[in-house]
A and B are shown apart, each in its own frame.
Chain A
């Protein structure tokens, strides 16, 4: 470690530099884990601190010692120089968000998750003023078969958090990603493909991890009015561990 490192932390603790700030980390921590532990925000969607990283959305991309890496999978090394909040990186993140918006059908004004949605809040954070690209307008039917929960596939960003929660925590394998490349899509593990034909319940972890508005609890949609929701009050950067609120 360099002698002139002005870290306020225990001098035996290893540190790295994030956007000019000295951040402590422990062995094995990824960049985003160490950043979060110090209250620093790195935009992310498929990462959730409670789950193993998936590294798929690439929103959390940073440059680490000059090379681009997903900060949710890249392990921190002592004296690593990481850049996150820079114009070129934020421009690329915004382009990724714009691609997510045009690939699905994201109609925020009529979405029960609006104001609690991490996709939307991250787009606000990164000043996404338009979707820029041409819309795909895909045809993705709803699944309203379950008595308590609705699946709106139009809003899926393929983060796989529901699949990870269902397999790793609930031990059920209700959700999975099928297909490849642009044809990747969320499926429900039942012969009929319907949620009602699985053992999914509202007590499952999988019911509470969707960062967007795919897994929606029925009959409570607008109990908290638009304008009074998590990210209406604070930008997502000020809530680095956003809890998924049931809407």
Chain B
């Protein structure tokens, strides 16, 4: 007799203004990926190359918000994911990209595209398809409600695994000494 198959959890992941390091850390759970794939399937993610997020149980967001497209993707995730998790320093406090926050955007664009040594006839890219940069880089909790946070640059595979397994088991995620790190 065929037992009804238990439906798998759906997980979506995205990188906003990040470096994909947190996704590399997700892959650092190594052979536990097999265990994860028994319990969950991936929706939108750089791992699946699916471009839009459908209804999901867990959304993992790496990176902060540095342009309008980041905000759009984040809102899509928030609208579709029952549980939204900020993964890594950039999602949590803006991280390295946020180190531009005390400078004016126009000054940065001027410096990068016009003033720097060796730029001849440089111009600020203005293709309409390019998302507009924000004046400052923001962590994601400044724009949407975030349910859980996994700090670290990047968080270790073990830290990500701990939170994922806690969530899947219905426990309140908890990182102890050694797993909670900001660096």
Closest CB in chain B relative to A93 CB, distance in Å: 16
Neighbouring A residues of B182 by C-beta, 8 Å: 108-109, 114, 120, 123-124
Per-residue interface assignment for chain A, residues 92 to 132, with 1 indicating a CB less than 8 Å from any chain B CB and 0 otherwise: 00000000010001111111001100001001100101111
Chain A contacts of B153 at CB under 8 A? 108-109
Q: Which of B102, B175, B180, B183 contacts A138 (CB 8 A)?
A: B102
Q: Are B95 and A107 in contact (CB under 8 A)?
A: yes
Whether, in the assembled complex, A145 has its beta carbon less than 8 Å from a beta carbon of chain B, the answer is no
Q: Are B149 and A139 in contact (CB-based, < 8 A)?
A: no
- Which of B95, B136, B148, B174 is within 8 Å of A137, CB to CB? B136
Contact with A along B125-159 (1 / 0, CB 8 A): 00000000000101101100010111101000000
CB neighbours (8 Å) of B141 from chain A are: 130-132
**B101 interfacial contact with A, CB 8 Å:** yes
Interface contact B142-A134, CB-CB below 8 Å? yes
Task: Give the A-B contact count at a CB cut-off of 8 A.
Answer: 75
Q: Does A235 contact B (CB under 8 A)?
A: yes
- Interface residue A89 (Cβ < 8 Å from any Cβ of B): no
Given A108-B153, A114-B183, A130-B146, verify A135-B93 contact (CB < 8 Å). yes
Of the residues A101, A111, A115, contact of B93 by C-beta under 8 Å: A101
- Give the Cβ gap from A109 to chain B, nearest Cβ, in Å: 4
What range describes how many residues of A lie at the interface? 20 to 34
How many chain B residues touch A (Cβ–Cβ < 8 Å)? 30
Residues from chain B with a CB closer than 8 A to the CB of A120 are: 182-183
CB <8 Å contact, B136 and A107: no
- Digit string of B73-96 for contact with A (CB within 8 Å is 1, else 0)? 000000000000010010011111
CB distance from A19 to the nearest CB of B (A): 20
* Inter-subunit contact B94/A135 (CB<8 Å): yes
Establish whether residues B92 and A111, one from each chain, have CB atoms under 8 Å apart when the complex forms: no
A137 in contact with B151 (CB, 8 Å): no
With contact pairs A101-B93, A111-B183, A114-B182 given, residues A129 and B102 touching in the complex (Cβ less than 8 Å): no
Min CB–CB distance A232 → chain B (angstroms): 8
Chain A positions within 8 Å of B148 at CB level: 129
A-B contact pairs, 10 of them (CB 8 A): A106-B93, A109-B182, A114-B182, A123-B182, A127-B180, A129-B175, A134-B142, A135-B101, A135-B139, A232-B178
Interface residues of B (CB under 8 A from A): 86, 89, 92-96, 98-99, 101-102, 136, 138-139, 141-142, 146, 148-151, 153, 174-175, 177-178, 180-183
Taking A115-B183, A127-B180, A132-B141 as given, write out 14 further A-B residue pairs in contact, using a Cβ cutoff of 8 Å, ordered by the A residue number.
Answer: A101-B93, A106-B93, A109-B182, A110-B96, A110-B99, A124-B180, A127-B175, A130-B146, A135-B93, A135-B98, A135-B101, A135-B139, A137-B101, A138-B102
Interface residues of A (CB under 8 A from B): 101, 105-111, 114-115, 120, 123-124, 127, 129-132, 134-135, 137-140, 226, 232, 235
Closest 9 CB pairs of A and B: A109-B153, A108-B182, A137-B101, A139-B102, A129-B149, A114-B183, A130-B149, A235-B177, A108-B183
